[in-house]
Amino acid sequence: MKLEFVNIIDAIQYAVDKIAKQMYKSDTECPPKFTVSQLDKYDNEGSIVQHEIILTVEHCGDKHSRPIFPRLDYKYGYEFLSEEMKYLYNTTM
């Protein structure tokens, strides 16, 4: 993979995959699957007016999603990606 041609979603997915492999290596029966995606919001004319980057976890038959960017409720910067993943993983328990 040539890094100069990696888009933002793929770059975050790459990081998420690396973190998931480390954090959940002991969960061999039903390992979580994390997916990074983009949500586009449209106006009445069909123009995109907002993007969000969404993190979804699928674990033990449940799926939960959460926007990870933009997050205007964070006053002092963004959370670590691993913390966002841990939060979503715990929602499936």
Query: What would you measure as the largest C-alpha separation in the chain, in angstroms?
Result: 49
Give residue-wise pLDDT tens across range 15-60. 999 999 999 999 889 999 999 999 999 999 999 999 999 999 999 9
C-alpha 39 chain-centroid distance: 11
Residue range(s) defining the domain that contains residue 53: 3-91
Nearest-CA neighbor of 66 among 83, 49, 50? Answer: 83
Name the phi and psi angles at 60, rounded to 5.
55, 40
pTM of the model: 0.87
Which pairing describes strands 48-59 and 62-69: parallel, antiparallel, or unpaired? antiparallel
3-state secondary structure of 92: coil
And the tokens for 49?
A: 């007016």
In total, how many domains does the chain have?
Answer: 1
